[in-house]
Amino acid sequence: MSKLGNLGHRLHRGEIAYDFVGHRRIWYGVSILITVVAIVGLAVNGLKLGIEFSGGAVFTTPKNVGISVSDAQSKIDGHTGGHDATIQKLGNGSLRIQVSDISTDASKEVQQNISDELKIPKAKIDAEIVGPSWGKEISQKALEGLIIFLVLVVAYLAIAFEWRKAIAALIALLHDLTITTGVYAIVGFEVTPGTVIGLLTILGYSLYDTVVVFDGLKEATKDITKQNKSTYSELANRSLNGTLVRSINTTVVALLPVAALLFIGGGILGAGMLNDIALALFVGLSAGAYSSIFIATPIVADLKEREPAMKQVRKRVLARRAADAAKAAEAAERGEDPDAPEDGEGADPDDEAEAAAAGAGVVGQRAQGAPSGSRSTGTRGSAANRNNRGGRGRPSGKRR
């Protein structure tokens, strides 16, 4: 852990760095590949809608029924009215049997079939009928909320930062949504209201991570047009390295409880709703951390480098580096140290001014009859000190 902390300090001070922005074509390629896989998975498998969206019935058996999921699946197969049944074992030992897209009359027949096949009294099987209209209303409200959220995000970032950062953040958000949705389609998890909650939650977190990176970028580039040492892309990369460890730590801390929900709460304890929320959060948080580092900032650098002012900065930086390289080559040919100052360049004008002022102060002090024992701020070896010290320059320190 101490090595990791030392690494973070060195990254923040700029002693070491990784060229994220310079390798942006690689990250663009990786993101495009992942996005294409997610879209293909979504097109081939489609989303498996829960009964809240498609309508259907949910049958719950008593606690500790003593029947495994595989046994229950084999016994009721073909007795669900021609519809596929999804079976989950809950933490209290009961079975949750979900049959989508069936009517109320058909659900009564399916309930009786489940009772006969599993040898459970029908009265002890809890049946719940869900209509598709509720799910459609939830979907519509979620879509409206998503559109309003994206509009507000773009407006806020455009005001707080600039429109280029707003576009980059919007692309990163759409990137995170597409990957999360694609993973749902590939894995085959059901889309439930918990999924919608998870998707809306990761949008806020992804935006938070991106804004943290953008804030550091804004601070690092505020005086970029007044210097000729670094281009915008180089300053952006330096800022990104400075906030890298903080972004990683924030993501890891957020992923730990989500991973506990997904792998322990959902996988071991069998809580279905936790699976829906935790998977969306886990994939979305991971994708959000990736996009804020590898997507958002490189896109901003690409857009900013197209500005005339940034082109002028790049031109000055390259001209200075070319001049420095030519100067170093000439010095190397003469066998001189290229870093050694030339004649007249060794002293700092500010230091010379301070020394002159200090000498003048000593002369003025002596002229006004200052006590001989008082100290001066001038240079001990200056002419003014030697002229006014009299016999004090001798080893004995006595006047003659």
Count other Cβ atoms within 10 Å, centred on residue 136.
Answer: 14
Is the pLDDT at 96 greater than 90? The verdict is no
Cα 190 to Cα 184: distance, rounded to the nearest angstrom: 8
Nearest to residue 206, comparing CAs of 140, 287, 310, 280?
A: 287
pLDDT tens-digit readout, 378-399: 444 444 444 444 444 444 444 4
pLDDT tens-digit readout, 244-258: 888 888 888 888 888
Q: Please list, residue by residue across 287-306, b when 16 or more beta carbons sit within 10 angstroms of its beta carbon and e when fewer do.
A: bbbbbbbbbbbbbbbbbbbe
* Side chain identity, residue 108: K
* Side chain identity, residue 160: A
In the chain, list all ranges with CATH 3.30.70.980: 56-130
Count other Cβ atoms within 10 Å, centred on residue 50.
Answer: 24
pLDDT at res. 30:
92
174 CB contacts (<8 Å, ≥6 apart)? none
Cα 127 to Cα 270: distance, rounded to the nearest angstrom: 20
Q: Are 77 and 111 in contact (CB under 8 A)?
A: no
What share of residues in the chain are helix, strand, coil (percent, to 5)? 70, 5, 25
Q: Are 191 and 184 in contact (CB under 8 A)?
A: yes
* CATH label, 2-13+24-49+134-312, candidates 1.10.40.30, 1.10.10.60, 1.20.1640.10, 3.40.605.10: 1.20.1640.10
Report DSSP state, residue 123: G
pLDDT at res. 355:
44
Cα 265 to Cα 283: distance, rounded to the nearest angstrom: 16
CB neighbour class for 79 (10 Å; exposed up to 12, middle 13-18, buried from 19): middle
Token reading at 102 = 């069936």
- What kind and span of H or E run contains 267? none
Cα 181 to Cα 41: distance, rounded to the nearest angstrom: 9
CA 264 to chain centre: 26
pLDDT tens-digit readout, 5-47: 566 566 656 566 788 888 899 999 999 999 999 999 989 888 8
In the chain, list all ranges with CATH 1.20.1640.10: 2-13+24-49+134-312
17 CB contacts (<8 Å, ≥6 apart)? 11, 237, 238, 241
Cα dist. 200→58, 194, 206, 281 in Å? 26, 10, 10, 9
pLDDT at res. 400:
37
Count other Cβ atoms within 10 Å, centred on residue 212.
Answer: 15
DSSP one-letter string for 104-126: HHHHHHHHHHHHHHHT--GGGSE
* CATH label, 56-130, candidates 3.50.50.60, 3.30.300.30, 3.30.70.980, 3.30.1330.10: 3.30.70.980
pTM for this entry: 0.68
pLDDT tens-digit readout, 360-375: 443 344 444 444 444 4
Cα 71 to Cα 97: distance, rounded to the nearest angstrom: 13
Q: Are 143 and 267 in contact (CB under 8 A)?
A: no
CA atoms within 13 A on the CB side of 382: 19
Count other Cβ atoms within 10 Å, centred on residue 130.
Answer: 19
Report DSSP state, residue 190: E
- What kind and span of H or E run contains 74? helix 69-76
pLDDT tens-digit readout, 140-183: 887 887 788 888 888 888 888 889 999 999 999 889 989 988 98
Q: Are 57 and 129 in contact (CB under 8 A)?
A: yes
pLDDT tens-digit readout, 304-332: 999 999 999 999 999 999 998 998 888 88
pLDDT at res. 371:
43
Cα 60 to Cα 124: distance, rounded to the nearest angstrom: 9
Cα 120 to Cα 134: distance, rounded to the nearest angstrom: 30
Cα 328 to Cα 289: distance, rounded to the nearest angstrom: 42
Confidence of residue 359 (pLDDT cuts 50, 70, 90): very low
Is the pLDDT at 358 greater than 50? The verdict is no
3-state secondary structure of 180: helix
pLDDT at res. 397:
44
